[in-house]
Chain A
Amino acid sequence: MMYGFAWDTSTPLAYAISILPILGIGLIVTLEATVCGFAIAMGVGLVFALLRRAKSRLITWPVGLIVEFLRDTPLLIQLFFLFYVLPQFGIVLPAFLTGALALGLQYSAYTSEVYRAGLEAIGRGQWEAATALNLTRAQTYRDVVIPQAIPRIVPALGNYLVSMLKDTPVLSVITVVDMLNLANLIGDRTFEYLVPLSLVGLIFLILTLGCSALIHVIERVLPKRGIALR
């Protein structure tokens, strides 16, 4: 019995069906963590990418260092760091928020590279033409650079979204009650791990396939006429 749902271990199928509602609660947490984490990754990554384009090395170097650090250290270490070390400095965040933040920060290193490549693909000639037409920097970003960058960055961002979704079970190590955590808890009680774990794997498979399909649809409908995508 968990969250008011009882399990039925008589047959594997009955077992699977009976624990589905429980895993569903974890699924919501998994999805929430992915959405929050990815929102953070997209926002912070953009800030990193723009800062790394700054003129002053006083900005680009430290930011570059932070991005390297986030990218080249394991997610698990970053997670433990945020969860166990930050409270020593008086910063106590709920486990879920800590998890989403860790995911978001690590992936912001990846997304910042995606943005950077996307922005760099817009050649100097485009900027110069915009300057010659007296467009402001903001107008140039909005009307010239970003519309050309988006179709280039969406596929790569989509890959990272799927990848982040698959990383969310890591959050169970800091007590976030996601699908994997619930499957383990169920197994601990019933001494039957095969069905819950397989079920979680299957749900992930469906999620990632659905996610990829969605990204393909988005790529299809994005306005990209005239833009040479390699």
Chain B
Amino acid sequence: MNPIIRFSNVTKRFGALTVLRDFDFEVKQGEKVTLIGPSGSGKSTVLRILMTLEPFQEGTLTLAGMPYHEPDGHGPFKAREKHLRQIRSHVGMVFQSFNLFPHMTVLRNVIEAPVRVLGLSRNEAECRAVDLLNMVGLADKKDHYPSQLSGGQQQRVAIARALAMRPRVLLFDEPTSALDPQLVGEVLGVIRSLAHEHDLTMLLVTHEMRFAREVSDRVCFFDKGQIVEQGEPERIFSSPEQPRTREFLASVLG
């Protein structure tokens, strides 16, 4: 089976700083992959490129076979908005800082895009939203505003909001890093339940090593814009081969 995500020779620069150099990376459909690595190594950048929030300068990236830039004469790395929107329709993202729309109720946050973008009727969108809010355990908060919720609750709403668009690939960028320690568990619980969804491809950046070990099919250790070592979580965590991986794990696991 073809991978749903394929980076080949992707180079990403911010001005003079090269964050990814000749980056190769593949993810199979339904696979749950965790990226770990030191701060500044480019983990977020990988997710942000996938979400079309960042352009890249060289190489090719495909999602379900669709290249991010159009193959016709539009210049290799300039993609038209229409094309990017087509790619985006398969990808969702959960941010470290939740980024809920503060002026909308929880329900409105979840139905906004399905109504506007997918063209669902309000009724249908609400039914689905309530189902999703049930799944994250927040159906009773549907008429609250984000500011009335705890961080953990906001992040669960953000997950429901992303799922409402029925993405094939869901990206999580440190979804629990902004949370008080006692709220981390409830968010991880929701992500854990998603990990059982067979078809959903998940790409997760996290510092929660125990959680990564538990939910991932594959863990990738990232350093300086490169995957230094990857493999099944058991192997990476119990017997890392690369010295840099060992060093990193020693520093985070204490």
Give A residues with C-beta under 8 Å from B. 125-126, 128-129, 131-137, 139, 143-144, 147-148, 223-228
Contacts and interface: CB of A to CB of B under 8 A. Distances in A.
A129 B102 contact: no
B25 interface: no
B161 interface: yes
Contacts of A225: 103, 145
Main SS at interface, chain A:
helix
Interface in B133-174: 145-148, 158, 161-162, 165
Question: Which 3 A-B pairs have CB atoms at the shortest separation, nearest pair first?
Answer: A226-B145, A133-B113, A129-B99
A226 B51 CA distance: 27
- The listed residue with most B CB atoms (<10 A of its CB), out of A143, A144, A226, A227, is A226
B9 interface: no
- The listed residue with most B CB atoms (<10 A of its CB), out of A132, A137, A143, is A132
A44 to B, nearest CB: 27
A133 B161 contact: yes
Contacts of A128: 51, 53, 93, 95, 99
B160 to A, nearest CB: 12
Contacts of A129: 95, 99-101, 158
Contacts of A135: 112-113, 116-117
A227 B92 contact: no
Contacts of A223: 103
Contact of B85 (A125, A134, A143, A226): A134
A226 B161 contact: no
Given A129-B158, A132-B51, A135-B117, 6 more contacts: A132-B91, A133-B117, A143-B112, A144-B101, A226-B146, A228-B147
B97 A125 contact: yes
Nearest to A147: B103
B104 interface: yes
B89 interface: yes
Contacts of A139: 116-117
Contacts of B101: 126, 129, 143-144, 148
- The listed residue with most B CB atoms (<10 A of its CB), out of A126, A133, A227, is A133
Given A143-B112, A144-B101, A147-B103, A134 B95 contact: no
Interface residues of B, number: 31
Contacts of B224: none
B207 interface: no
A148 B161 CA distance: 19
A126 B99 contact: yes
A226 B106 CA distance: 11
A76 to B, nearest CB: 42
Nearest to B91: A132
A226 B93 contact: no
Contacts of B29: none
A132 B102 contact: no
B103 A224 contact: yes
- The listed residue with most A CB atoms (<10 A of its CB), out of B113, B147, B148, B162, is B113
B28 interface: no
Contacts of B53: 128, 131-132
A132 B54 CA distance: 12
Contacts of B81: 136-137
A128 B93 CA distance: 9
A223 B103 CA distance: 9
Contacts of B51: 128, 131-132
B77 to A, nearest CB: 16
A141 B92 CA distance: 20
B57 interface: no
Given A131-B52, A135-B117, A226 B103 contact: yes
Contact of B93 (A132, A143, A144, A228): A132
Contacts of A226: 102-105, 145-148
Nearest to A144: B101
B89 A132 contact: no
B88 interface: yes
- The listed residue with most A CB atoms (<10 A of its CB), out of B91, B92, B116, is B116
A53 B85 CA distance: 22
Contacts of A134: 85, 88-89, 113, 117, 165
Nearest to A151: B103
Nearest to A128: B53
Interface in B63-100: 81, 85, 88-89, 91-93, 95, 97, 99-100
B194 to A, nearest CB: 16
